[in-house]
């Protein structure tokens, strides 16, 4: 691609000359290089055994109109870092990819927040769902691919071993067994229905089961049952017999066995699938010999990254297929700074150097297998099928959403150049008889709801139940500064503003936009149809256009309804949380002098909520770290 001076992202001749001089001065050492465009945006991050040979190859070859040629034409400058080895280059390369998110690298979202099943230490340990950093004080099992998998395991352990799940504050204040005891999901340690020794035995059996010792657990339970029977303790023997029966019914042996019959308790199964310019890496987890479920990952920049990555191979090396490039990118970005199991079962072979770096990083020898047999083959086939189905689902959803976006743009006759940047903001008001009024703003962009950009607004200073005044307040707060920024080119207004309501709400929005100098053509109200039936909604405009009925089966109406319902859901949940805070006295606790965020958090954590704090005595309050006797008395007086 020939650089041109009238294209802002293409470097001028002077910048290209400086770049070529820098390339000529590179050393023949291992390292990492970064390419930047004229605006300073990072284009690509790569590693090299020989920086001079690798980087020079980009500028010595004629790449024509390919994606590589397109990228090379944008390069205005570069940065390099010399390292001691290829392993160091690999580590640095992937740290920079995750930090800089280059345009031409395959990029996976940095999301390793996996949940765990936690057994909290104590005389009568409890099971809990946990997400966060682990410590040495308690026992953690996992990680699990999803919250559902953790909760399913907790339910299993409740059925078989009847371990408690209640919070310590609840446990300490029980005077009679709860419903879980009645339905045989808890052994009732809170009211001494089981002694500490027997409960500890159940905990040990549960932990042994979670670690993959299913047969050992059954043997231990069998021995306990016989011991009770020999001691003529037939009721206890019958309880353990029921435990053995429950465990036998739910136990499905899912260990991964190699050809020698040795059981591998922990393994990750990875399968990659490419189709339609998209990719899916499906990660299935096996922990303690049990299949815990799978989790799909969808990288960005797949087409550009695989093409540029294929041209970035070492001289004389065999070109890696796109699937291998995606799989290697996932392994590097996912595992290099996180725990990795000793076995990876892969749909495609990967570079041995990558596995060596993983082993060095985690201190455990990591092996990989891409042509497994028997049980491992079954795991891999399941994972491959999962990747295929999840990618097909993604492609179907994306196509459907794009069709809906196009249908809405066409129905409203909007001048939109790029559907991918088409942005809708939708507002809704929610309250209960005028109490705890809240407004919600949800955002639709790039053919999907953008949850991270949602906002809630507490509405103050209006007559309770006045939805029009609430809409005026939220629109003014949302767009006053945004309109100023849009006028100077520093901000962007949405392409469409939806308000949940008919002519009244649209008229209020019109007044606000007129005051702020914003185009009235952006405002559309969603008015309930005859009988307020779903599918009969009509669109009301602020700029004088007549109402529009899109039709019950209209793809445009489906999109409008989806966004409107999401705004309503978001407003309802926020209003209920605020109302609950007001009614339970949360604001009263915040208003007590001397009780800041940290002390408030300690109180709530210790007593399980505001209600528990209100029920606590002065002595109990004073026992909390940071709460003096005087402050405890002040808290007690404020809440009583």
- Which whole-number Å values give the CA distances from 501 to 156, 507, 508, 568, in the listed order? 47, 10, 10, 11
Report DSSP state, residue 319.
P
Q: Which of 58-62, 201-205, 324-328, 453-457 has the lowest mean pLDDT?
A: 58-62
Supply the pLDDT for residue 258: 41
Supply the pLDDT for residue 533: 67
The Cα–Cα gap between 500 and 495 comes to 17
Could you tell me which CATH number the domain at 585-638 has? 1.10.150.20
Supply the pLDDT for residue 42: 93
pLDDT confidence bin for 485, thresholds 50/70/90: confident
Supply the pLDDT for residue 384: 94
Residue 142: closest CA among 215, 213, 211: 211
Percent of the residues in the chain that have a pLDDT greater than 70, as a whole number: 87
pLDDT at 620 over 50: yes
Rg value, the chain, Cα = 31
Supply the pLDDT for residue 579: 52
pLDDT at 92 over 80: yes
pLDDT confidence bin for 348, thresholds 50/70/90: very high
Supply the pLDDT for residue 477: 92
pLDDT confidence bin for 1, thresholds 50/70/90: very low
- Which whole-number Å values give the CA distances from 560 to 11, 311, 410, 567, 568, in the listed order? 43, 44, 13, 11, 12
CB-facing half-sphere around the CA of 239: CA atoms within 13 A: 17
Q: Which of 110-119, 260-269, 444-453, 626-635 has the lowest mean pLDDT?
A: 260-269
pLDDT digit string (tens) for 388-417?
A: 999 988 888 777 888 889 889 888 888 787
pLDDT digit string (tens) for 514-548?
A: 988 888 889 999 988 765 566 678 899 988 888 88
Supply the pLDDT for residue 36: 93
CA dihedral (13, 16, 17, 18) positive or negative: positive
Q: Which of 227-236, 361-370, 569-578, 605-614 has the highest mean pLDDT?
A: 361-370
The Cα–Cα gap between 467 and 479 comes to 18
Supply the pLDDT for residue 262: 40
Average pLDDT (313-336) is 82
Please give the CATH topology (third level) of the domain spanning 419-575: Nucleotidyltransferase; domain 5 (3.30.420)
> Do 265-391 and 419-575 show the same overall fold?
yes
The Cα–Cα gap between 624 and 84 comes to 52
DSSP element (H, E) containing 98: helix 86-100
**Residue 288 contacts residue 266 (beta carbons within 8 Å):** yes
pLDDT at 236 over 60: yes
What is the DSSP code string of 491-510?
S---SEEEEESSHHHHHHHH
pLDDT digit string (tens) for 487-520?
A: 777 788 999 999 988 888 999 999 999 988 888 8
pLDDT at 279 over 60: yes
**Residue 392 contacts residue 281 (beta carbons within 8 Å):** no
Paired residues of 423 in beta bridges: 445
**Residue 404 contacts residue 390 (beta carbons within 8 Å):** no
Percent of the residues in the chain that have a pLDDT greater than 90, as a whole number: 23
pLDDT confidence bin for 249, thresholds 50/70/90: low
The Cα–Cα gap between 34 and 44 comes to 6
- Which whole-number Å values give the CA distances from 577 to 453, 580, 581, 611, in the listed order? 19, 5, 6, 15
Average pLDDT (619-631) is 86
Supply the pLDDT for residue 255: 37
The better pLDDT of the pair 289, 100 is held by 100
Q: Where exactly are the structural domains of the chain?
A: 13-100, 115-257, 265-391, 419-575, 585-638
**Residue 386 contacts residue 296 (beta carbons within 8 Å):** yes
pLDDT at 277 over 80: yes
Please give the CATH topology (third level) of the domain spanning 13-100: GIY-YIG endonuclease (3.40.1440)
pLDDT digit string (tens) for 164-219?
A: 988 888 888 888 888 888 888 898 999 989 889 889 988 988 888 887 766 677 77
The better pLDDT of the pair 109, 268 is held by 268
Paired residues of 34 in beta bridges: 45, 79
Residue 522: closest CA among 532, 512, 530: 512
Average pLDDT (41-68) is 86
- Across 317-353, b (16+ Cβ under 10 Å) vs e yields eeebebbbbbbbbbbbbbbbeeebbebbbbbbebbee
CATH value of 265-391 in 3.30.420, 3.40.190, 3.30.70, 2.60.40: 3.30.420
Supply the pLDDT for residue 450: 93
The owner of tokens 């809440």 is 639
Tokens of 263: 């059981």
Supply the pLDDT for residue 574: 65
Supply the pLDDT for residue 535: 66
Supply the pLDDT for residue 441: 94
The better pLDDT of the pair 629, 312 is held by 629
Supply the pLDDT for residue 314: 61
Report DSSP state, residue 165.
-
The better pLDDT of the pair 260, 437 is held by 437
pLDDT at 257 over 70: no
pLDDT at 30 over 60: yes
The Cα–Cα gap between 142 and 250 comes to 19
Supply the pLDDT for residue 112: 62
Mean pLDDT of the chain: 82
Supply the pLDDT for residue 388: 93
The better pLDDT of the pair 79, 287 is held by 79
């Amino acid at each position: 691609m020939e650089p041109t001076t009238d294209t802002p992202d293409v470097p001028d001749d002077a910048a290209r000359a400086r770049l070529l001089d820098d390339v000529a001065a590179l050393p023949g050492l291992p390292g990492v290089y970064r390419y930047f465009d004229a605006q300073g945006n990072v284009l690509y991050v790569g590693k090299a055994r020989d920086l001079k040979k690798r980087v020079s190859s980009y500028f010595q070859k004629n790449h024509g109109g390919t994606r590589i040629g397109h990228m090379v034409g944008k390069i205005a400058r570069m940065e390099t870092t010399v390292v001691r080895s290829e392993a160091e280059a690999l580590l640095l390369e992937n740290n920079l990819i995750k930090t800089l998110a280059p345009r031409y690298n395959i990029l996976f979202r940095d999301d390793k927040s996996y949940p765990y099943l936690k057994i909290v230490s104590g005389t009568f340990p409890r099971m809990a769902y946990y997400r966060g950093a682990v410590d040495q004080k308690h026992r953690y099992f996992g990680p699990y691919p999803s919250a559902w998998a953790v909760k399913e395991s907790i339910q299993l352990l409740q059925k078989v071993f009847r371990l408690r799940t209640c919070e310590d504050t609840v446990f300490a204040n029980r005077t009679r067994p709860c419903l879980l005891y009645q339905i045989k999901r808890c052994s009732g340690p809170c009211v001494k229905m089981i002694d500490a020794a027997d409960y500890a035995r159940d905990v040990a059996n549960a932990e042994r089961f979670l670690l993959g010792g299913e047969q050992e657990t059954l043997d231990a339970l069998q021995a306990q049952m016989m011991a009770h029977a020999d001691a003529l303790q037939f009721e206890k023997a019958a309880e353990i017999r029921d435990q053995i029966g429950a465990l036998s019914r739910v136990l499905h042996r899912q260990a991964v066995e190699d050809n020698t019959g040795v059981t591998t308790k922990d393994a990750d199964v990875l399968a990659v699938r490419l189709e339609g310019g998209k990719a899916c890496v499906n990660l299935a987890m096996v922990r303690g010999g049990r299949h815990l479920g799978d989790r799909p990952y969808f990288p960005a920049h797949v087409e550009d990254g695989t093409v540029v990555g294929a041209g970035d191979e070492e001289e004389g090396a065999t070109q890696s297929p796109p699937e291998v490039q995606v799989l290697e990118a996932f392994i590097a970005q996912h595992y290099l700074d996180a725990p990795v199991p000793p076995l990876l079962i892969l749909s495609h072979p990967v570079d041995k150097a990558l596995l060596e770096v993983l082993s060095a990083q985690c201190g455990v020898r990591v092996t990989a297998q891409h042509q497994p047999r028997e049980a491992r083959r079954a795991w891999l086939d399941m994972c491959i099928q999962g990747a295929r189905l999840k990618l097909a689902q993604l492609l179907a959803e994306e196509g459907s959403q794009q069709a809906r976006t196009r249908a809405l743009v066409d129905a409203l006759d909007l001048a939109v150049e790029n559907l991918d940047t088409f942005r809708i903001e939708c507002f809704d008001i929610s309250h209960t008889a005028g109490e705890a009024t809240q407004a919600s703003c949800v955002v639709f962009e790039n053919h999907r709801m953008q949850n991270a950009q949602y906002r809630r607004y507490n509405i103050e200073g209006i007559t309770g139940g006045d939805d029009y005044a609430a809409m005026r307040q939220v629109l003014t707060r949302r767009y006053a500064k945004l309109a100023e920024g849009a006028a100077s080119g520093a901000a962007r207004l949405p392409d469409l503003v939806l308000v949940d309501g008919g002519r009244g709400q649209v008229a209020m929005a019109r007044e606000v936009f007129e005051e702020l100098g914003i185009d009235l053509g952006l405002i559309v109200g969603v008015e309930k149809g005859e009988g307020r039936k779903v599918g009969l909604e009509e669109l009301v405009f602020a700029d004088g256009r007549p109402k529009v009925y899109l039709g019950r089966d209209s793809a445009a109406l489906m999109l409008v309804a989806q966004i409107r319902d999401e705004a309503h859901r978001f407003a309802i949940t926020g209003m209920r949380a605020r109302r609950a805070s007001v009614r339970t006295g949360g604001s009263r606790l915040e208003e007590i002098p001397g009780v800041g965020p940290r002390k408030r958090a300690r109180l709530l954590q210790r007593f399980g909520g505001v209600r528990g704090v209100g029920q606590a005595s002065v002595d109990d309050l004073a026992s909390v770290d940071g709460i003096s006797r005087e402050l405890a008395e002040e808290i007690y007086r404020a809440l009583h």
